[in-house]
Amino acid sequence: MPKISILPEELINKIAAGEVIERPASVIKELLENSLDANATRIIVEVKDYGKQLLKVADNGEGMEQEDAGKALLRHATSKIKDINDLFAIQTLGFRGEALASIAAVSKLTLTTKPKGALEGFSLMVEGGIVTNEGIVAAEKGTTIEIEDLFFNTPARKKFLKTDAVELKHIVDVVTQYALIHPQVSFRLIHELKELLNSPSVEDWRSNLASIYGVEQAKELLEVQYENNITGIKVYGFISKPYDARNDKTMQSLFVNQRWIRNEELTKVVYDAYHSLLFVNKHPVFVLNLTLDPTKIDVNVHPTKAEIKIEQKKEVAEAVFNAVRETLRKNDLLPVMDFQAEQQLTFGTVLKKEDNKEAQREEKRIGASKYAFEPSEQSALQVKESEAVSYGEEIVPEITPDFTYGSPIIIPTADTIPESDKLPQLRLLGQVHKTFFVAETPGGIVFIDQHVVQERVLYERFMEQLMNQKVAVQNLLRGEVLELTPVQKLLVEENKQKLKELGFVLEEFGENSFVLKAIPTLFGRLQPQELLFEVISELHQHQNRLEQIQEEIITRMACRASVKAGDTLTITEMQRLLYELSQSKFPYTCPHGRAVLIKVSVEELEKKFRRK
């Protein structure tokens, strides 16, 4: 006897609903998308009992004719695409004609709609996919859809819902995302008479962000505006300054053609662009919309349309990277101390303390490495201009066991570091606690962490040399003989070429020995062999190849080779560091993301002294 039978329509619909409608928030997502596709400018979302009792979306969009309203609830019924060509150039959020049918199959749905110019509206009630009532009603232009008793006929699905709070959070999240990307549309979200979100229609993006994320946050975000003329890819949105990064990832939104998407790869690209500017375990805020050619993306790969396939993957990643990187490069990222905010935000203060601990741990971790090296009595920056040469030249200068600082840098002699395209003018006033420099700047004073300054400077200068394959090396006249353990020897041998690129020239010398002939000049403050052992121990720890941990090694070398808190510096040394900082690309944070400078504005001081 044949065993295969075609499933009844009702069951098919329930199965389809299982894919699209996972939880109350999925309903809201689909309904919002429909309202936006209908060009609504005002959308009100109402929820009762965390979505279990009622989910209601009312819009002032185009509305539907009576005949269309009936069809809207059928599967595969859509006004948005007509043929296969449309499918591959989707301009709307919906296109499958499946959402309403799916929702209707697992709930009690009431649809009320009135198109422009019609005298009366039309209403339709459906229970588990079956029409129970319909008729003419009085209505405003637009469409209202009410969902009661979601999953009343699919108890298994209902059982899998998370806690009320979690389900509500998902709803808030969906509405927030669509409100973020549509400044001109007004959104309200109400739960049990409580307004959870109110984002009025505004012209500009920043005001829109302010109504969703708060004025303080919105004020600090940097605008991203990027377009690649060749690929036509556009990136627009807002990102946070590295120092304003958060402890969680909740304020991160990616959109493609105003469709909210999740994309791990692109998210990673954003992090990469922040690279070396973010503090450990900190997460940037970003709201980015990518405008891509709709024929070059495929939205039809996932039932909830939250994932998409991008044809020009590489180009898109590059555009996102450049957009974020350029924005960070061209903006003033100087953190400003806001006494009032610090006082008010007790929560914030706690976090600050955490940061602090984290920072100390970081310094300790690096400082306490096995090959720790105490800075010499003599000031670490006492510079003997060494004959640094580019790698490959055959010059053997005198041994300079002390710190040397590479090619001479001409710094202005006056005590003021002129404004650069990154940093404002700085007039050095001195050093406090052997830890911070203090400088006057237009509109306030700036505190600068001496260790962090040098870390940033060394890191960038070394990176630049490495990129240009011109690491300046300091030749060691007699060389240093290194006794290596078999494991160390193996590590050196395996990574010899890469070590050479980093500025470590080694020659084999007997069984387990090597002669260290040259080291990278920039890190010359450390004893040559300690510097190399530092690298080797890092290689050992990570059981890794050098290319993969090169960054980490350079960051560590920069940290170790930098002056520490407690080192006394002369005015000239401080000047020099500040000048170098003013020339660096990202002068605001160390490679681990700690702030280099913090500004206290005159305004704040005036407030504190009650002058204003």
Ligand X SMILES: Nc1ncnc2c1ncn2[C@@H]1O[C@H](COP(=O)(O)OP(=O)(O)OP(=O)(O)O)[C@@H](O)[C@H]1O
Residues binding ligand X (CB under 6 A):
30, 34-35, 38, 59, 61-64, 72, 77-80, 94-101, 143
Q: The tokens of 56 are what? A: 């209601």
DSSP letter at 589 equals B
Provide, rounded to whole angstroms, the least separation between the CB of residue 112 and ligand X: 10
257 binds, among ligand X, Mg ion, none (CB under 5 to 8 A by kind): none
* Identity of the residue, 96 or 599, whose beta carbon is nearer to ligand X in the bound complex: 96
**Hey, which residues between 373 and 432 contact Mg ion (CB under 5 A)?**
none
Provide, rounded to whole angstroms, the least separation between the CB of residue 263 and ligand X: 19
143 binds, among ligand X, Mg ion, none (CB under 5 to 8 A by kind): ligand X
Provide, rounded to whole angstroms, the least separation between the CB of residue 174 and ligand X: 14
Element (H, E) at 314: helix 313-330
Q: The tokens of 494 are what? A: 């395996």
Burial of residue 138 (CB within 10 Å: 0-12, 13-18, 19+) is exposed
* Identity of the residue, 73 or 278, whose beta carbon is nearer to Mg ion in the bound complex: 73
**Runs of H (alpha helix) within 5-93:** 9-20, 24-37, 66-72, 84-87
* Identity of the residue, 100 or 502, whose beta carbon is nearer to Mg ion in the bound complex: 100
* Identity of the residue, 94 or 503, whose beta carbon is nearer to Mg ion in the bound complex: 94
Side-chain half-sphere exposure of 363, counting CA atoms within 13 A = 15
d(CA 426, CA 240): 25
Mapped onto helix, strand or coil, the DSSP state of residue 272 is helix
Tell which residue, 214, 445, 206, has the closest CA to residue 341: 214
Provide, rounded to whole angstroms, the least separation between the CB of residue 262 and ligand X: 17
Residue of closest CB approach to ligand X: 94
DSSP letter at 521 equals G
* Identity of the residue, 59 or 455, whose beta carbon is nearer to ligand X in the bound complex: 59
Burial of residue 514 (CB within 10 Å: 0-12, 13-18, 19+) is buried
How wide is the angle at C-alpha 198 spanned by C-alphas 196 and 203, nearest 5°?
155
Residue of closest CB approach to Mg ion: 94
* Identity of the residue, 32 or 577, whose beta carbon is nearer to Mg ion in the bound complex: 32
Say if residues 440 and 599 touch (Cβ distance below 8 Å): no
* Identity of the residue, 32 or 212, whose beta carbon is nearer to ligand X in the bound complex: 32
97 binds, among ligand X, Mg ion, none (CB under 5 to 8 A by kind): ligand X
Mapped onto helix, strand or coil, the DSSP state of residue 399 is coil
Which range touches Mg ion (CB under 5 A), out of 14-22, 30-38, 254-262, 493-501? 30-38
Q: Is 34 in the site for Mg ion (CB under 5 A)?
A: yes
Q: The tokens of 48 are what? A: 């009762």
Which range touches Mg ion (CB under 5 A), out of 34-42, 140-148, 257-265, 484-492? 34-42
Provide, rounded to whole angstroms, the least separation between the CB of residue 423 and ligand X: 51
Tell which residue, 501, 459, 453, has the closest CA to residue 276: 459
Strand pairing report for 42-48 and 186-191: parallel
Residue 479's CB: how many other CB atoms inside 10 A? 19
Provide, rounded to whole angstroms, the least separation between the CB of residue 76 and ligand X: 9
* Identity of the residue, 79 or 435, whose beta carbon is nearer to ligand X in the bound complex: 79
d(CA 224, CA 319): 11
Provide, rounded to whole angstroms, the least separation between the CB of residue 100 and ligand X: 3
Which range touches Mg ion (CB under 5 A), out of 93-101, 180-188, 460-468, 551-559? 93-101
Which range touches Mg ion (CB under 5 A), out of 26-34, 234-242, 374-382, 433-441? 26-34
Strand pairing report for 286-291 and 252-256: parallel
Mapped onto helix, strand or coil, the DSSP state of residue 361 is helix
Strand partners of residue 440 = 427, 445
237 binds, among ligand X, Mg ion, none (CB under 5 to 8 A by kind): none
Provide, rounded to whole angstroms, the least separation between the CB of residue 591 and ligand X: 45
- Site size with Mg ion, rule: CB under 5 A: 3
Q: Is 73 in the site for Mg ion (CB under 5 A)?
A: no
Provide, rounded to whole angstroms, the least separation between the CB of residue 136 and ligand X: 18
d(CA 316, CA 396): 48
Secondary structure (DSSP) of 236-271: EEEE--GGG-BSSSTTEEEEETTEEE--HHHHHHHH
Q: The tokens of 87 are what? A: 């499918």
Provide, rounded to whole angstroms, the least separation between the CB of residue 130 and ligand X: 17
Say if residues 84 and 101 touch (Cβ distance below 8 Å): no
Show the site string, 94-133: x = touches Mg ion by CB under 5 A, - = not. x----x----------------------------------
* Identity of the residue, 99 or 179, whose beta carbon is nearer to Mg ion in the bound complex: 99
* Identity of the residue, 35 or 582, whose beta carbon is nearer to ligand X in the bound complex: 35
* Identity of the residue, 99 or 492, whose beta carbon is nearer to Mg ion in the bound complex: 99
Mapped onto helix, strand or coil, the DSSP state of residue 430 is strand
* Identity of the residue, 64 or 273, whose beta carbon is nearer to Mg ion in the bound complex: 64
Show the site string, 205-234: x = touches Mg ion by CB under 5 A, - = not. ------------------------------
Q: Is 454 in the site for Mg ion (CB under 5 A)?
A: no
98 binds, among ligand X, Mg ion, none (CB under 5 to 8 A by kind): ligand X
Tell which residue, 104, 154, 151, 155, has the closest CA to residue 129: 104
* Identity of the residue, 71 or 234, whose beta carbon is nearer to ligand X in the bound complex: 71
d(CA 22, CA 166): 13
21 binds, among Mg ion, ligand X, none (CB under 5 to 8 A by kind): none
Provide, rounded to whole angstroms, the least separation between the CB of residue 51 and Mg ion: 18
141 binds, among ligand X, Mg ion, none (CB under 5 to 8 A by kind): none
**Alpha-carbon distances, residue 147 vs 26, 40, 138, 390 (angstroms):** 12, 19, 20, 72
Q: Which residues lie near Mg ion (CB under 5 A)?
A: 34, 94, 99
